Each structure stands twice: as structure tokens, then as C-alpha cells.
Amino acid sequence: MKVVRSLMQVFVERIAGIDIGKAEVTCCVRIPDPGRAGRRKQTIRTYTTMTAQLWRLADWLTEQQDTRVVMEGTSDYWKPVFYLLEAAGFEVWLVNAHQVKGVPGRRKTDAIDAAWLAQIGECELVSPSFVPPPPIRRLRDLTRYRTVLVREHTREVQRLEKLWEDAGIKLSVVASSIVGVSGRAMLSALVAGQRDPLVLADLAKGKLKRKRADLIEALTGRFEEHHAFLCQQMLTHLDQLEPRPPRWKSVSTSNWNPTGRNWPNWTASTASPTPPPPA
């Protein structure tokens, strides 16, 4: 515990600053010193980032009657700490690392960083970054991951087209998509061992049937066994990456609940009970 004098106007009497790392967090609590007017009492503690320890941190902050917690957005390590304290009922500020840089040349330790976060938070020298509410966070996780899958699907199609170019197969010149119904049928036949351009051209569907002569020329190449092996691996990967719209839609809809407040069901052995949802 340390007693310090505040040289700036304090807007938040009871506040905590947390320096976050991968394995542990350092928390600095600043509250008024009951024995000396105008002084601030500063206490620093360290906890691991395990959920049970974070609940102990939340319990300690509750005992100190802190109303605001300030933390820096460090990689993704801030998320479990932020979400747990948010669920526990604290006003949590996530601040930009660029805005909270201290004076150049000062010593930099976890304790000093935590105290600095508490100081700039109590004097409101920074503004919190926007963190969306839980329903939007869940929806964002789903949409971002689906975006990754779609981009990877596109890259895999491009790899497949390069493989066809290496084999002298020019299907992409004739067909608008090499992974459409007709393209997949021809790919599967090539992988299965069929090399006759006439037979492959007969697998065309829809409007592509009208381009049979062009298809015969495009499908004449030197498709070898190693091309077939690579092609099969790429097709399998494409099947795994293929979006499933009905499934994604149902999951996205179930996670989009802007009117409800569904707190995460945190569990801890003996650290703290699961907090009840707000009224």
C-alpha cells in the first residue's frame, strides 16, 4: 500500500487500473486515503489470468468499492478480463495503447503501468474505446470467421486454376467457373482417370453444352497423376470450406439478440459464484 498526492482533478474516487499480460495481470487500486485529506491510497496486487483468479480479482475490486476499471487493449489478452469484469457489474474502460503512453524515459514495469492507467482514468485524460455489447460480439465472431472461410475458399480455387494451367487444361477460358456443376464433374472425372477430351466435354451442363467444340480443345492437355493427387486434395479442402448458408443463418440468428442481455455462464470452483443477470 502506498499513499500519494494527486496533482490533477479527480473525477472518479474509486478506480482500478489493470496491466494485462498473457499469464498474469497487475491491478492497481486507487481510493481516497481516509486518514489524510487530499491524498490517494494506492494498492497493487498481481493475479494470474486463469478464470478462478480473475474472479478473485473481481471480488477484491468489489471489496474496494471500485466503480471503474481501466485497462489497455493488449493483443487479445484483454478480452477474458474485460468480459468477466463487465459481467460482474463494473464500468470497464478499454483504452488505446497509443493514448496512454507515459512520459518518455520513465521506468516501465507492470506495477507502474497499472498505476498510470488508474491515474489517467480517475482524471479522465483518455476516452474509452468502443466495445460492442455481447450479442454483437457473438455475431461479429461468426461473420468474421465466415469471411475468413470465404477468402480461403477463393484462394483455393485460384490454386486449383494454377494447377490446371500447369497441366495445360484451359477450362477457365471457356467456363465462367471451374468449380461449378460442369467444372466439378470434369474435375472428378479427371481425378478418376478419365483423360479423353470428348468424354470430358460431354459432362458439360446447361449453357456450357453449346461450347462443346471449345471444351474439347480446352480439355486437351497433359493431366498427370501428380496433378490428379493435388486436384483431389484441393477439392476435398474446397468441400470443407464450402459455406453452409442455412446452418450459418440459424447460428447467426440465434446469437443475435439485441433486446436481451445474456451474460456468459462463467464458472469457478471456489473463487466466486456465477453472478446473477442484471434486473
Residues 124 and 194 in one domain: no
Residues 6 and 121 in one domain: yes
Q: What is the pLDDT of residues 29-80, one digit of tens each?
A: 998 887 777 788 889 999 999 999 999 999 999 999 988 999 988 788 999 9
Residues 7 and 127 in one domain: yes
Whether residue 265 is contained in a domain is answered as no
Whether residue 141 is contained in a domain is answered as yes
The tally of domains found in the chain comes to: 2
Q: What is the reported pLDDT for 113?
A: 87
Position 6 pLDDT exceeds 60: no
Residues 159 and 201 in one domain: yes
Whether residue 80 is contained in a domain is answered as yes
Residues 40 and 148 in one domain: no
Whether residue 142 is contained in a domain is answered as yes
Instruction: Tell which wins on pLDDT, 147 or 275.
Output: 147
Here the contacts of 162-168 (C-beta below 8 Å, separation 24 or greater) are 163/227, 163/230, 163/231, 163/234, 164/221, 166/227, 167/221, 167/222, 167/223, 167/224, 167/227, 168/220, 168/221, 168/222, 168/223
Residues 117 and 157 in one domain: no
Residue 28: domain span: 2-131
C-alpha span between 20 and 18 (Å, rounded): 6
Predicted TM-score (pTM) of this structure: 0.68
For residues 57 and 110, the answer to whether their CB atoms sit within 8 Å is no
- For residue 126, the domain's CATH number is 3.30.420.10
**Final residue before a domain boundary, out of 131, 156, 173:** 131
**Final residue before a domain boundary, out of 131, 149, 180:** 131
Position 266 pLDDT exceeds 90: no
Q: What is the pLDDT of residues 155-178, one digit of tens each?
A: 999 999 999 999 999 988 998 888
Whether residue 44 is contained in a domain is answered as yes
Whether residue 275 is contained in a domain is answered as no
Residues 56 and 171 in one domain: no
Residues 56 and 124 in one domain: yes
C-alpha span between 235 and 156 (Å, rounded): 9
Residues 24 and 81 in one domain: yes
Residues 122 and 187 in one domain: no
Task: Give me the chain's average pLDDT, please.
Answer: 82
Whether residue 278 is contained in a domain is answered as no
Q: What is the reported pLDDT for 230?
A: 94
Q: What is the pLDDT of residues 173-215, one digit of tens each?
A: 998 888 889 999 999 999 999 999 999 999 999 888 889 999 9
Residues 68 and 189 in one domain: no
Residues 116 and 158 in one domain: no
Whether residue 167 is contained in a domain is answered as yes
Nearest Cα residue to 44 out of 126, 132, 151, 117: 117
